[in-house]
Amino acid sequence: MRTLQELGSNACRGRGDSTLFEKILIANRGEIACRIMRTCRRLGIKAVAVYSEADAGSLAVEQADEAYPIGKAPASESYLRIEAILEACRRSGAEAVHPGFGFLSEKAAFAEALEKAGIVFIGPPPKAMRAMGDKIASKLLAQQAGVSTVPGRLEAIADAKSAVAIAREIGYPVMLKASAGGGGKGMRICRSDAGTREAFRSAGNEAKGAFGDARVFIEKYIEEPRHIEIQVLGDQHGQVIHLGERECSIQRRHQKVLEEAPSPFLDARTRQRMGAEAVQLAKAVGYYSAGTVEFIVDRERNFYFLEMNTRLQVEHPVTEMVTGLDLVEQMIRIAAGARLPLAQKDVKAKGWAIEARLYAEDPARGFLPSVGRLRRYLEPPVGQGLRIDAGVVEGSEISVHYDPMIAKVIAHGPDRGAATAKLRQALDAYYVRGINHNGAFLSALLAHPRFQEGRLSTNFIAEEFPEGFKADRLDARTRRCLVFAAAVLQRRLAERALDGKARPALDDWVVLLGREEHRLRLKPHSSGFLVESELGGGPIESAWLPGEALFCAQLVGEPVVVQVERSGPRWQLSHGGAAVEALVLEPPAAALYRHMPVKAPPDLSRFLLSPMPGLLVSVAVKEGQEVKAGEELAVVEAMKMENVLRAAADGLVKTLHCKPGDSLAVDQAILEFA
Ligand code: ADP
Ligand code: ADP
Ligand code: MG
């Protein structure tokens, strides 16, 4: 019997497979462009990249067989220009285009323009894209196809008064949504009449600004919701199957952070029913290629259709890891007219896969985007159930122009616990410096007992990290690990300074983590040390040498990886979702250190500082104006996101240092309080 892996990926693999394309253009950038190229290469297909001025030196351009410039850095002047992409197709002679996700991937007009030019669009038929592109229209269609939708009123709301009437009729809480919405924009939860009136105005404005379409509608807000979606795959011969579900309930502001397959919440019957409804909907719109039917699931496992994404999904790798199929390969084959290589009964999920999205953002500054050059970039070793989809290398620039996702880390194991453990190890060894990122936050999410129990909801992050995320909270195990690591690092450094001269057989050290003081003793022992301390003790084995970024060790029988960076006399260490600064001293020096005055940090509270490099869009206050805590002061735009900066405390605005339109550096003073 053939395995699924063979059925999906190898059975009809083909260099010289004359039914496939010879050259494919990838109308995208970053990790997804690199990922699509990987499949092209395996299939013996030439890959063409397109790039904006900002991406001229990118990994995607380097890895492509050919690459063509398509315009300036802003997406509207490059990746969104249909004409420029058509021109690159003509110049390269590409026969087909894969759009990836984002950008033009869900624009029916793009698919039609390609078709008209005689180029194959590797995606669904434009008609299906149109049918699913609008939330009101697609929900009406879903109802007709017998798919359950969220209770609500599927029509555009005329005014604030009817918004309130409809909200009351549905019953609070309700959710107000932009019909043209996407990416979590134009959505508001309303719990009262006043809230509904306000939301009607602000969501309408936001939708008008983002999508040029102010239509909003209202549906029931599902409490403690879980986001569970079904991957569908259809061919041009009317066959449609589903490849099971992905749960993406771990979200921040309606944006996915962790995704997994299968869902820890679904039972076999619900899974089967959701799969059947997703296939029903796909068939109803004549769908082919890969697509995703998103559902929201309530506490009782009632599920409701949310929307259909007519493209490859960011989190598609978790489905690939459990099914053994390559979805990009399937999209290419389907676009070339091939039949699905398997029937529904052949689809079997094996094990568990979890994906974490590594974003260039700063958890310590309210998750604001972070830009700059990747000064140091080391990926953990892949293989054996670990996959990394990245579009960067050391030295790459994370620019303000695009999505802040740097890479995706995906782990597969026999069960959920094994996949989680593998992902946590991978994050410990994923070393990124030069920009801020959410790696430690991802580790903390995976380490959270509630995550491990699978008690998820889309409110998880808001409920469990209400104050945001701080990497300086240490549990006993992490503290011990970091303290022991710091001592061994210092000892190894001291050894090198001694230049071969022996140290005493016992040495005592004091490890300072902020104000915490830990004394310990290291005794040379086989290839490492025996440690004794009030935190416990035992053998530590490590081959670490000064200068290495990762301290890999057997720490009292447990393998650990700690990220290391030397800053002056101190060590910056991170592991398991924690990041600390350690100072390691010999006891006499520690005794002196205790008497050193603590240097007070400069008082910056009188200034509003720009939390990131970006563009000052607006300033909401004037010189001499009194402001209250929480009041809007200014808006800074970076990475396609507008970030509202608010007053941290009541105060009086003394001086404005910048005006709208100014470019801002990180920590630049925008205004000063009296
Ligand atoms: P997924 O469900 O696959 O996570 P998302 O809806 O989060 O899909 O978006 C997929 C990609 O499209 C991401 O790169 C995201 O930044 C981009 N994207 C989605 N909606 C928008 C939008 N309204 N404007 C700009 N980019 C968007
Ligand atoms: P988008 O096009 O922006 O992705 P979706 O309709 O897919 O919009 O919703 C995005 C997210 O918003 C969902 O994953 C879920 O977390 C939340 N959400 C959407 N609709 C509801 C609802 N009716 N009740 C509760 N949460 C919802
Ligand atoms: Mg969605």
Domain annotation for the chain: domains and CATH numbers = 4-130 (3.40.50.20), 151-220 (3.30.1490.20), 226-464 (3.30.470.20), 476-593 (3.30.700.30), 607-673 (2.40.50.100)
User: Quick one: average pLDDT of 47-72?
Assistant: 98
Q: Please report the atom of ligand 2 found closest to the CA of residue 221.
A: 24
Residue from 277, 294, 307, 355 carrying the catalytic annotation: 307
Report how far ligand 1's centroid is from the alpha carbon of 403 (Å).
Answer: 9
Any atom of ligand 1 within 6 Å of the Cβ of 256: yes
Asked whether residue 132 carries a pLDDT value surpassing 80, the answer given is: yes
Any atom of ligand 2 within 6 Å of the Cβ of 227: yes
User: Quick one: average pLDDT of 327-354?
Assistant: 97
Count CB atoms within 10 A of the CB of residue 109: 12
Any atom of ligand 2 within 6 Å of the Cβ of 468: no
Backbone region of residue 16 per phi and psi (left: phi > 0; alpha: psi in -120 to 50; beta: other values): left
Q: Which long-range contacts (CB under 8 A, 24 or more apart) does 246-251 make?
A: 246/313, 246/315, 246/318, 246/319, 247/456, 248/315, 249/225, 249/456, 249/457, 249/458, 249/460, 250/445, 250/451, 250/456, 250/460, 250/461, 251/227, 251/458, 251/460, 251/461
Write down the pLDDT at residue 177.
95
Write down the pLDDT at residue 638.
77
Asked whether residue 335 carries a pLDDT value surpassing 70, the answer given is: yes
Q: Whose CA is nearest to atom 11 of ligand 1?
A: 102
Asked whether residue 85 carries a pLDDT value surpassing 90, the answer given is: yes
- DSSP assignment of 510-578: EEEETTEEEEEEEEEETTEEEEEETTEEEEEEE---TT-SEEEEEETTEEEEEEEEEETTEEEEEETTE
User: Please, which pLDDT band fits residue 41 given cuts at 50, 70 and 90?
Assistant: very high
User: Quick one: average pLDDT of 352-379?
Assistant: 93
For 411-423, write each residue's pLDDT tens digit. 999 999 999 999 9
User: Quick one: average pLDDT of 51-55?
Assistant: 97
Q: Please report the atom of ligand 1 found closest to the CA of residue 102.
A: 12
Identify which ligand lies nearest to the alpha carbon of 254.
Answer: 2
Write down the pLDDT at residue 56.
96
Q: Whose CA is nearest to atom 11 of ligand 2?
A: 254
- 516 among known catalytic residues: no
Any atom of ligand 1 within 6 Å of the Cβ of 544: no
Identify which ligand lies nearest to the alpha carbon of 253.
Answer: 2
For 377-403, write each residue's pLDDT tens digit. 999 999 999 999 999 999 999 988 998
Any atom of ligand 2 within 6 Å of the Cβ of 221: yes
User: Please, which pLDDT band fits residue 505 given cuts at 50, 70 and 90?
Assistant: low
Percentage with pLDDT > 70 across the chain: 96
Indicate the average pLDDT of the chain.
92
Write down the pLDDT at residue 496.
83
Ligand 3 ion: Cβ-proximal residues, 5 Å cutoff:
294
Report how far ligand 2's centroid is from the alpha carbon of 188 (Å).
Answer: 10
User: Please, which pLDDT band fits residue 500 given cuts at 50, 70 and 90?
Assistant: low
User: Please, which pLDDT band fits residue 17 given cuts at 50, 70 and 90?
Assistant: low
Any atom of ligand 1 within 6 Å of the Cβ of 355: no
Asked whether residue 15 carries a pLDDT value surpassing 50, the answer given is: no
Write down the pLDDT at residue 18.
56
Any atom of ligand 2 within 6 Å of the Cβ of 458: yes
Write down the pLDDT at residue 663.
87
Percentage with pLDDT > 90 across the chain: 78
Write down the pLDDT at residue 601.
67
Q: Which helix (H) or strand (E) holds 24?
A: strand 23-26
Tell me, yes or no, if the pTM score tops 0.85.
Answer: yes
Q: Is 419 exposed, middle or buried (0-12, 13-18, 19+ CB in 10 A)?
A: buried
